[in-house]
């Protein structure tokens, strides 16, 4: 839509006052926002006459972000293009296929207490100055998930996401197409554990014979498994979230629950085990663990079984209110969990390195002066620091690099650390590198990021000094900084989606080791002429068609690698899966070893038809000059080393190392960014690199060796 196009209020839109708030709704969609007075005033301007975006912005109240509000109104169908025929569009939708007999129950009433949207909440965070990412969410479930919609919109904006939501009730027969109402969701939430299904077990079960109760639980587990399979079959690589069930905080069998066959702990365990087992088979599914959420936030604060029947699941404990509504905390918790799962799945904002101050963070006081005596104490401080060590060890196992960024004398600090070593604590060798000196931390952090092939925004800083954090924020504002007390660091590391690893791979587990190998190799480079350095490495490049067990690592490369990536952008996880698995696609995995060790799968080449779609290579091996041999070897494996094979590189500043890849590989440039093989011999000559051996094979068995 052009900025000059005139827009108007939808024919189906209404702006209605409700006390100190306003309801802005499209009754045909249906879609609804609860807003404050400044936002309502801005929306009402469209009711007077059509406006361009510029005219709308000029008339907005000062505290309203006009662009953000207009985007939200367009997303919700409250504002439309002036010449848009809404009646015809709605008629086409209604006159489409006849609704199937198994159509989901319509949401007849949105009976929830909404969380209003204020003007100040429309301001996009400074960290998302590039604009908000659109996120279409389909929620299939009961009132519990429907209640979370307003909160999702509000919390999404804080995380750089422009969220729109739709809700459906689930069907016991079959799942309708996800795009049945014309939209294509990016995220689908399935809550199979709704009142209609749970009542027979949660509320009727205590009065049944154990054998009947057992049969009902088995049947419910089978129903949930079928619903999960149906959802997975329709996702096409997009993320699906499946609710499990939190057991009641008080068993209907009371304190003798443990004596009862098929008691409530067993019921919850069986249902959740069935949900886990079925979801485990599908890479695009994650679990919304209601049981864990209840443990963390308190079941009595989230659910209502001490006031309403067990199967009702969620509502506000206010008998004086005759209208059903929702505990606000449950909406907040679920919305946060949905967004956290989405960020984890796609690796959005993922922390790739934690820079840790030492004194006052990993231990109390100054290690060089106070030693490690604190480890044997029984104080709150001792347990707090032990907990932080444990959390950082877990992050290391997820492939997140640890570096020290501290003030002091490196020799003295590291000697005291090793001398007082304890198996419960991190050791200096758990860190990829150390920076312990007296120069400004911002300068050292910039250098660390460059050495590791990272950007400052990939790094999370843990520092107990507000002054040091302020210095980093002023000089490297894109760095992620834990602006909280040391006592809160552990909770951040264990619960923040930025610190989660979407996949566990061989390369993830060995990331600290392979990074240290790369740093050792670069240290050697400084001592030898370049030709002698490369000749000393014994580089071996092994290429083979990508195996199923390597898909997770291939997706990781496509979603994390920015420097040597011919696509010029990072992909979301579902895009990455389609890139390597689409019809006619052939993906080649590249494994590199040198005298320092095995770097694992660190590159992929993707072809389709007679074109090279993508070449991606980890920054750890860029300096080994393996890119051209791996490209040419992949062309041999896919039988594309012939005239007419084309390739393209999207040139952006960040991927400069691959701008000339195809030129170096003997391709002829046809236009900006597009290349083609004209001279096969020139391509073959380009791959003759003296310091490496390239092996082409199927599943590790060499079928050809190229003497480079």
Q: Above 70 in pLDDT, residue 93?
A: no
Q: Above 70 in pLDDT, residue 492?
A: yes
Tokens 């020799």 sit on residue = 411
DSSP 504-537: --HHHHTHHHHHHHHHHHHHHHTTS-HHHHHHTS
Question: Three-state SS for 419?
Answer: helix
Rounded to whole angstroms, what are the CA distances from 187 to 103, 232, 392, 499, 578? Answer: 21, 12, 30, 21, 16
Q: Above 80 in pLDDT, residue 700?
A: no
- Is the Cβ–Cβ distance between 230 and 174 less than 8 Å? yes
Q: Above 70 in pLDDT, residue 706?
A: no
Q: Above 90 in pLDDT, residue 564?
A: yes
Q: Above 70 in pLDDT, residue 1?
A: no
Q: pLDDT grade, residue 644 (50/70/90)?
A: very high
Q: Above 60 in pLDDT, residue 708?
A: no
Question: Three-state SS for 481?
Answer: strand
Q: pLDDT grade, residue 92 (50/70/90)?
A: low
pLDDT for the residue numbered 323: 55
The neighbour count for residue 513, using CB atoms within 10 Å, is 16
- Residues of the chain by 3-state class (helix, strand, coil), percent to 5: 45, 20, 35
CA distance 69 to 153: 12
CATH number of 134-346: 3.40.50.1110
CA distance 195 to 313: 7
Rounded to whole angstroms, what are the CA distances from 2 to 52, 135, 190, 539? Answer: 9, 22, 37, 53
Q: pLDDT grade, residue 125 (50/70/90)?
A: low
* H or E element at residue 647: strand 646-648
pLDDT for the residue numbered 547: 93
CA distance 127 to 310: 43
Q: Which range has the worst mean pLDDT, 249-263, 317-331, 405-419? A: 317-331
Q: Which range has the worst mean pLDDT, 367-371, 383-387, 541-545, 676-680? A: 367-371
Average pLDDT over residues 540-552: 93
pLDDT tens-place string over residues 417-456 = 998 878 889 999 999 999 999 999 999 999 999 999 899 9
Rounded to whole angstroms, what are the CA distances from 163 to 72, 137, 339, 340? Answer: 8, 7, 10, 14
Q: Which range has the worst mean pLDDT, 502-511, 558-567, 617-626, 644-653? A: 502-511
* H or E element at residue 608: strand 597-608
Q: Above 60 in pLDDT, residue 558?
A: yes
CATH of 510-707 given 3.40.50.1820, 3.20.20.210, 3.30.200.20, 3.40.630.30: 3.40.630.30
> Where along the chain do the CATH 3.40.630.30 domains lie?
510-707
pLDDT for the residue numbered 643: 96
pLDDT for the residue numbered 278: 96
> Where along the chain do the CATH 3.90.930.70 domains lie?
1-97
Question: Three-state SS for 599?
Answer: strand
Sheet with 285-288, side-by-side order of all strands: 161-168, 133-140, 187-190, 239-243, 285-288
> Where along the chain do the CATH 3.40.50.1110 domains lie?
134-346
Please state, rounded to an integer, the average pLDDT across all residues of the chain: 87
CA distance 637 to 621: 21
pLDDT tens-place string over residues 313-345 = 776 555 665 555 556 788 889 999 999 999 999
132-144 burial, b at 16+ Cβ within 10 Å, e below that, comes to: bbebbbbbbbbbb
Q: In the structure encoding, which two tokens stand for residue 603, read together?
A: 């590159």
For residue 175, give the DSSP letter.
P
pLDDT for the residue numbered 697: 82
Nearest in space to 6 (alpha carbons), one of 83, 85, 61: 83
CA distance 294 to 99: 38
CATH level 3 topology of 353-501: Rossmann fold (3.40.50)
pLDDT tens-place string over residues 595-632 = 999 999 999 999 999 999 999 999 889 889 999 999 99
CATH level 3 topology of 1-97: Outer Surface Protein A; domain 3 (3.90.930)
* H or E element at residue 25: strand 21-26
Q: Above 70 in pLDDT, residue 127?
A: no
Q: Which range has the worst mean pLDDT, 280-284, 418-422, 704-708? A: 704-708
Nearest in space to 518 (alpha carbons), one of 576, 611, 433: 433
Average pLDDT over residues 573-586: 90
CA distance 76 to 268: 38
Q: Above 90 in pLDDT, residue 309?
A: no
CA distance 398 to 507: 10
User: What's the whole-model pTM score?
Assistant: 0.82
Q: Which range has the worst mean pLDDT, 91-105, 226-240, 583-597, 600-614? A: 91-105
pLDDT for the residue numbered 108: 32
The neighbour count for residue 211, using CB atoms within 10 Å, is 10
Q: Which range has the worst mean pLDDT, 114-128, 273-287, 558-572? A: 114-128
């Amino acid at each position: 839509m052009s900025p000059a196009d005139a827009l108007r209020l939808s024919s189906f839109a209404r702006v209605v006052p409700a006390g100190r708030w306003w309801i802005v709704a499209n009754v045909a969609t249906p879609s609804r926002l609860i807003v404050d007075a400044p936002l309502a005033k801005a929306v009402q301007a469209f009711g007077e006459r059509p406006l361009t975006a510029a005219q709308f912005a000029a008339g907005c109240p000062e505290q309203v972000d006009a662009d953000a509000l207009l985007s939200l109104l367009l997303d919700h169908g409250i504002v439309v293009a002036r010449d848009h025929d809404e009646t015809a569009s709605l008629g086409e939708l209604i006159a489409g296929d006849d609704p199937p007999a198994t159509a989901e129950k319509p949401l007849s009433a949105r009976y929830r207490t909404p969380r209003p949207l204020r003007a100040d909440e429309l301001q996009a965070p400074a960290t998302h100055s590039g604009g908000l990412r659109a996120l279409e969410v389909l929620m299939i479930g009961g009132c519990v998930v429907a209640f979370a919609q307003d909160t999702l919109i509000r919390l999404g904006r804080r995380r750089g996401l422009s969220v729109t939501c739709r809700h459906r009730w689930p069907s016991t027969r079959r799942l309708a197409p996800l795009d049945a109402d014309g939209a294509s969701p990016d995220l689908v939430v399935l809550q199979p554990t709704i009142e209609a299904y749970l009542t027979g077990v949660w509320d009727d079960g205590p009065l049944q014979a154990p054998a009947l109760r057992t049969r009902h639980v088995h049947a419910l587990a089978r129903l949930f498994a079928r619903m999960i399979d149906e959802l997975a079959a329709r996702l096409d690589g997009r993320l699906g979230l499946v609710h499990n069930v939190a057991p009641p905080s008080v068993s209907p069998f009371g304190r003798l629950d443990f004596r009862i066959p098929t008691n409530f702990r067993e019921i919850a365990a069986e249902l959740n085990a069935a949900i886990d087992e079925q979801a485990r088979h599908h890479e695009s599914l994650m679990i919304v663990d209601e049981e864990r959420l209840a443990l963390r936030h308190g079941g009595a604060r989230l659910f209502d079984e001490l006031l309403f029947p067990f199967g009702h699941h969620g509502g506000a404990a206010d008998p004086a209110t005759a209208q059903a509504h929702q505990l606000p905390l449950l909406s907040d918790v679920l919305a946060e969990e949905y967004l956290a799962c989405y960020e984890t799945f796609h690796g959005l904002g993922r922390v790739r390195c934690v820079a840790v101050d030492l004194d006052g963070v990993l231990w109390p006081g100054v290690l060089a002066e106070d030693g490690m005596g604190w480890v044997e104490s029984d104080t709150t401080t001792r347990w707090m620091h032990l907990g932080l060590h444990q959390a950082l060890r877990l992050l290391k196992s997820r492939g997140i690099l640890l570096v020290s960024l501290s003030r002091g004398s490196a020799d003295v600090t590291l000697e005291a650390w090793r001398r007082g070593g304890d198996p419960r604590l991190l050791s200096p060798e758990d860190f990829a590198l150390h920076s312990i000196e007296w120069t400004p931390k911002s300068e050292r952090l910039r250098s660390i990021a460059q050495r590791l092939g990272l950007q400052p925004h990939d790094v999370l800083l843990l520092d107990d000094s507000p002054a040091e954090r302020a210095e980093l924020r002023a000089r490297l504002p894109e760095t992620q900084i834990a602006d909280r007390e040391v006592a809160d660091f552990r909770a951040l590391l264990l619960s923040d989606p930025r610190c989660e690893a979407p996949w566990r791979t061989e390369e993830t587990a060995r990331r600290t080791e392979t990074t240290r190998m790369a740093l050792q190799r670069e240290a050697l480079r400084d001592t030898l002429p370049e030709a002698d350095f490369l000749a000393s490495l014994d580089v071996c490049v092994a290429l083979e068609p990508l195996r199923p067990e390597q898909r997770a690592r291939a997706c990781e490369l496509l979603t994390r690698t920015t420097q040597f990536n011919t696509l010029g952008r990072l992909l979301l996880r579902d895009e990455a899966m389609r890139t390597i698995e689409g019809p006619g696609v052939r993906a080649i995995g590249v494994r590199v070893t040198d005298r320092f060790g095995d770097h694992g799968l660190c590159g992929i080449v993707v072809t389709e038809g007679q074109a090279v779609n993508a070449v991606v290579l980890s920054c750890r091996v860029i300096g080994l000059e393996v890119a051209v041999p791996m490209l040419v070897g992949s062309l041999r494996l896919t039988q594309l080393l012939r005239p007419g094979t084309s390739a393209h590189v999207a040139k952006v500043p960040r991927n400069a190392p691959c701008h000339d890849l195809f030129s170096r590989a003997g391709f002829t440039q046809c236009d900006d960014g597009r290349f083609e093989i004209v001279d096969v011999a020139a391509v073959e000559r380009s791959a003759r690199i003296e310091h490496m051996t390239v092996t082409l094979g199927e599943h590790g068995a060499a079928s050809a060796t190229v003497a480079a």
